[in-house]
Chains A and B, each alone.
Chain A
């Protein structure tokens, strides 16, 4: 039982301990000039690839050792924040486009533009647009390391006819051929599918589509991609826009269509959906289609998957086929004691030498094309067909970047709450989204 004490104690104790442990930055240098850099990342699957990079880096720079710390995503940002507050952050950390604005605003990331200029790093070598995501007011806060796009994944046993899945169409009015494919894959307790007039929507055994409703203000795993394919744009400009467009009717139409999927029995009711991840529900065989990112390739095509899956491109909407593309970068801590060595490491991480090593492990798609080619080749050698992700990434006008602004976390919460209230039937889409839009734009003023 919590102790009888002042309610503030727990909260401030955290702040206190953070300031008390604030003694020194993570890196260290001993007497003969040898330097150990602290480097953080969250993905355990990527750890071996980056350890290979670190070993190669130390071989080329014998005076610098890189110590990699991996922390799970759920704790990563909070650990980083606490360490930044305590002045003991790692010299270099893996950064995310949605999370880095807050660290830029609070002057925690080193501007590497002077280094880029001095060493003449070619920022055009990366997948188009990725390098610009980490630039604000002429200052550069990271070099791209990898990218991801979204696609449909389907259970090949539940979707027995794959013809035409690479050319699905979608619109918010009748759902196009995408909705037909979803309906055909939905099966009720009597074995009738969603296209059958006798389909019993109250007793569904297999859902045609599993939507993701805890998807922040971006809808990367579903509504965002379709809304953009419907002509929606998140922001007046990206990155660093100052006005969101969540009140756009094109977004409201998209959310309403998703709600229609639920009402028709093609997707689980919001207040009866599983608390487990969509990956787990797909693996239990209770869902036929869902939208996933290329970072889940290992989950669906790996050896531990309990069902057989294949990928298909996202459906083409009224404004074309559009996928969110997102990239990670490496950031240097503004308070590092070894900025030169940290830059050397970041430059190496952003080079073809390291990204080819990462590509060989086929865990992510590196930001440099040669690295992506290596990853594709490794996937092909292992019998995994993942070309839809790279095709979508290179299709002209086929991608959009996730919105990058200040107050990203707050915006996400407000918009997610609004969208959930719509799906629950608590409010019409247009009203809830208008209200949320006013609220988030209020934050940006």
Chain B
């Protein structure tokens, strides 16, 4: 196998990046290095590390946003186990994640493969990114108008085609799939570009020789593109999994019209508990559980997709 394609293992890296040359390097460099790192480290500490520890602390208190928090032990976590709304919001989120990731990844993969094998048009790539550039709140409002039962364009077209009009966001069964489709619309282009960038790293010779051996496009996609794309695909899946779990803006905008809380995902539940019901302590506990769930899911996913190993080795 060609050496350039081997992803170095941890041991290799230690061997390479801990060179003896370090001893001769003047100390000043390190100070400068810390100086350059400082803005990021300070930002990380102030905006991520500190809030996280504070969140852990709040989850053990009765903090209401307006009182002085006092320690209540694991009471919030206790309450959470018996909270039907919490479990319901988790189920709704899981359903949403499955719908969203499935539709978004399949579509994006298809788009990326088409771009990779057919065209390198920059115009096309730019167009694909457009929906991703629109703020989520605007996207949600826009689709609410388009999908409205009375005045929306989509139902108007359905009716003109002689089909039944649909409730979409106001239907308890269609609301969540509709939200998933709206977000797929917004993110598919972005995901497709990531995958496309990954495909560009695959050596063209592989396709050429496969072509000479008589392999068709579908076979090449399955045997060359997919396996070699695995590290990128893993990254994309992890990022979109976490992104999907964090779905909030579309839900918050449409919440007033979605019936019986059919779209009340976990992030919305956290927001509701913290800022509408003044249970900041409880909301923090829910958030902590979410951290654990996401951490576990990411680990499992990375393990399953063997993200650090490319099939090129």
Which residues of A come within 8 Å of B, CB atoms?
Answer: 1-2, 4-13, 15-16, 78, 81, 84-85, 102-103, 106-108, 213-214, 268-276, 281, 284, 286, 407, 409-410, 413, 417, 420-421, 424, 426
The answer for the CA separation of A214 and B254 in the assembled complex, in Å, is: 12
Chain B residues with CB under 8 A of A276: 148, 150-151
A159 CB to nearest B CB, Å: 20
Query: Can you list 18 A-B contacts (CB < 8 A)?
Result: A1-B240, A8-B55, A9-B51, A11-B270, A11-B284, A12-B51, A12-B52, A12-B287, A13-B51, A15-B58, A81-B275, A271-B167, A272-B171, A273-B170, A275-B149, A275-B169, A275-B257, A417-B261
Check B34 for interface membership: any CB of A closer than 8 A.
no
The answer for the CA separation of A409 and B65 in the assembled complex, in Å, is: 15
The answer for the CA separation of A274 and B169 in the assembled complex, in Å, is: 10
Please determine whether A275 and B51 come into contact, CB atoms closer than 8 angstroms.
Answer: no
Please determine whether A424 and B54 come into contact, CB atoms closer than 8 angstroms.
Answer: no
- In the complex with contacts A81-B275, A106-B66, A284-B150, A271-B242 CB distance below 8 A: no
Check B274 for interface membership: any CB of A closer than 8 A.
yes
Closest to A108 in B: B66
Check B277 for interface membership: any CB of A closer than 8 A.
yes
Chain A residues with CB under 8 A of B310: none
- In the complex with contacts A286-B150, A409-B277, A7-B165 CB distance below 8 A: no
Chain A residues with CB under 8 A of B51: 8-9, 11-13, 15-16
The answer for the CA separation of A389 and B135 in the assembled complex, in Å, is: 42
Segment at the interface with A among B19-27, B200-208, B288-296: B288-296
- In the complex with contacts A1-B240, A4-B239, A78-B275 CB distance below 8 A: yes
Please determine whether B170 and A11 come into contact, CB atoms closer than 8 angstroms.
Answer: no
The answer for the CA separation of A81 and B54 in the assembled complex, in Å, is: 19
Please determine whether A85 and B274 come into contact, CB atoms closer than 8 angstroms.
Answer: no
Q: B274-305: which have CB < 8 Å to A?
A: 274-278, 280, 283-284, 287-288, 290-291, 294
Residues of B contacting A: mostly: helix
Q: B30-81: which have CB < 8 Å to A?
A: 47-48, 50-52, 54-55, 58, 64-67
Closest to A106 in B: B66
Check B245 for interface membership: any CB of A closer than 8 A.
yes
B141 CB to nearest A CB, Å: 10
Count chain A CB atoms within 10 A of each CB in B55, B67, B190, B242 and give the residue with the most: B55
The answer for the CA separation of A7 and B67 in the assembled complex, in Å, is: 24
Please determine whether B170 and A7 come into contact, CB atoms closer than 8 angstroms.
Answer: no
Which residues of B come within 8 Å of A, CB atoms?
Answer: 47-48, 50-52, 54-55, 58, 64-67, 144, 147-151, 165, 167, 169-172, 174, 187, 190, 238-240, 242-243, 245-246, 254, 256-257, 259-261, 270-272, 274-278, 280, 283-284, 287-288, 290-291, 294
B188 CB to nearest A CB, Å: 12
Closest to B132 in A: A1
A36 CB to nearest B CB, Å: 25
Chain A residues with CB under 8 A of B274: 11
Please determine whether B238 and A4 come into contact, CB atoms closer than 8 angstroms.
Answer: yes
Please determine whether B167 and A272 come into contact, CB atoms closer than 8 angstroms.
Answer: yes
Chain B residues with CB under 8 A of A103: 66
Please determine whether B284 and A275 come into contact, CB atoms closer than 8 angstroms.
Answer: no
The answer for the CA separation of A85 and B66 in the assembled complex, in Å, is: 5
The answer for the CA separation of A284 and B54 in the assembled complex, in Å, is: 50
A204 CB to nearest B CB, Å: 12
Please determine whether B147 and A275 come into contact, CB atoms closer than 8 angstroms.
Answer: yes
Chain A residues with CB under 8 A of B284: 8, 11-12
A163 CB to nearest B CB, Å: 30
B54 CB to nearest A CB, Å: 5
Chain A residues with CB under 8 A of B174: 271
- In the complex with contacts A11-B283, A106-B67, A214-B257 CB distance below 8 A: yes
Please determine whether B47 and A420 come into contact, CB atoms closer than 8 angstroms.
Answer: no
Chain A residues with CB under 8 A of B288: 8
7 additional A-B residue pairs with CB within 8 Å, beyond A8-B291, A420-B259, A421-B260: A7-B291, A12-B55, A15-B58, A84-B66, A103-B66, A271-B170, A426-B260
